[in-house]
């Protein structure tokens, strides 16, 4: 067991400061020693707030990777560079936590999987929604077989008006897509994990640019610039798995719908069903009667003391660092994340050609 796990962060923007750095800083046996960003001032600011006493700042990630004392790299850059940086980090003898999605395309994701196998380095992807209390509870229900064979599911990631207008979210070249690859990826990962089914057969997909052209649109983060909105505003997929199971994937940053929610799944099995639409609900039949069970997954404390509150990203970070320190497998495995990327790519390809995409 390692006494200290030394971490380097590549990409010191929003996701690093909102998720990775705060979560890592809470873990006693972690030292964040390397900070890299194309905007050096941003890396310096993060180092000042979260860095160890010997922390170094870099503008070129290759220089950071030369530090042989670093054990693990967190890749928090735009999707386009996920594969390149992750592969280089593993080649340099470092374990890698890469933000979702795994890569911009399946070719890059496949190279990450191959490199992890060849080098023996651990690789995981930032699907923190698996670590929510409702997700972990539902996974145990699925693992126990309460729902039977899950043959129909819905992966749900719909916003009414919440288009991210900062960074490169609207840039197709940098990101590879819009809401499908940004938030749809979380919903699909959650659904496949619950089903424990990673063998897609075919997909039919559609993408839309219907609301992205609107000027001065109502939006959570202010109006978007239609000229810079080069990705889809909505995307949908009809996925058939090799065993005949069906998954409906719906994702949007801007849709005229009140049925909103992110990183949610609906599961329908031979023995029961589950959804996350009003908390965690389990449905089934018993003694000739139908039932709905609402699971209370977030227990409250008493006055003046509510206990330790851990967000999903905190649980994710602790599990990941424990996997490194004690040589365990991470919860999110490379091959699983690769399958998510393959399916997303299939939806985009089907939407582009107007034909069914076969795996």
Task: Report the distance separating Cα 108 and Cα 105, nearest Å.
Answer: 6
State pLDDT tens for residues 301-349: 666 555 567 799 999 999 999 999 999 999 999 999 999 999 999 999 9
φ, ψ for residue 87, nearest 5 deg: -65, -45
Q: Tell me if residue 85 falls in helix, strand or coil.
A: helix
258 phi, psi to nearest 5 deg: -100, -5
Spatial distance between the Cα atoms of 214 and 255, rounded to a whole number of angstroms: 12
Q: What pLDDT sits at residue 310?
A: 79
Alpha helices (H) in 252-333, listed in sequence order: 312-325
- The pLDDT of residue 1 is above 60: no
pLDDT at 3: 83
Task: Enter the tokens of residue 357.
Answer: 């995409």
Cβ neighbors of 118 (< 8 A, separation 6 or more) are none
**What confidence score (pLDDT) does residue 248 get?**
98
* Residue 58 structure tokens: 């870099």
Cα 36–chain centre separation: 22
In the predicted model, what is the mean pLDDT of the chain? 96
Q: CA quadruple 197, 312, 327, 342: dihedral positive or negative?
A: positive
């Amino acid at each position: 067991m390692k006494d200290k796990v030394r971490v380097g962060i590549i990409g010191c923007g929003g996701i690093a400061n909102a998720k990775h750095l705060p979560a890592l800083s809470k873990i006693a046996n972690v030292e964040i020693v390397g900070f890299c960003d194309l905007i050096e001032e941003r890396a310096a600011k993060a180092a000042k707030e979260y860095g160890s006493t010997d922390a170094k700042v870099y503008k070129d990630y290759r220089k950071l990777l030369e530090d042989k004392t670093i054990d693990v790299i967190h890749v928090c850059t735009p999707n386009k560079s996920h594969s390149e940086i992750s592969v280089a980090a593993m080649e340099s003898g470092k374990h890698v936590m890469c933000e979702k999605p795994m890569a911009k395309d399946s070719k890059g994701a496949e190279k990450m999987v191959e490199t992890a196998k060849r080098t023996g380095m651990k690789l995981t992807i930032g699907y923190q929604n698996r670590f929510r209390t409702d997700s972990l509870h539902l996974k145990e229900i699925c693992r126990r077989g309460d729902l039977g064979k899950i043959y129909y599911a819905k992966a749900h990631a719909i916003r009414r008006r919440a288009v991210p207008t900062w960074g490169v979210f609207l840039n197709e070249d940098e990101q590879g897509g819009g809401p499908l690859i940004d938030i749809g990826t979380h919903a699909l990962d959650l659904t496949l994990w619950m089903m424990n089914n990673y063998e897609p057969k075919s997909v039919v997909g559609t993408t839309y640019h219907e609301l992205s052209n609107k000027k001065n649109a109502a939006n959570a983060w202010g109006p978007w610039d239609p000229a810079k909105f080069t990705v889809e505003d909505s995307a949908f997929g009809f996925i058939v798995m090799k065993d005949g199971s069906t998954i409906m994937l719906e994702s949007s940053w801007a849709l005229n719908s009140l049925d909103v929610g992110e990183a949610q799944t609906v599961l329908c099995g031979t023995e029961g069903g589950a959804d996350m639409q009003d908390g965690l609900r389990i449905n089934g039949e018993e003694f000739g009667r139908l039932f709905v069970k609402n699971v209370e997954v977030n227990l409250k404390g008493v006055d003046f003391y509510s206990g330790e509150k851990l967000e999903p990203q905190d649980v994710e970070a602790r599990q990941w660092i424990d996997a490194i320190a004690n040589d365990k497998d991470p919860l999110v495995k490379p091959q699983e994340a690769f399958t998510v990327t393959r399916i997303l790519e299939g939806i985009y390809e089907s939407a582009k050609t107007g034909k069914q995409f076969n795996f």
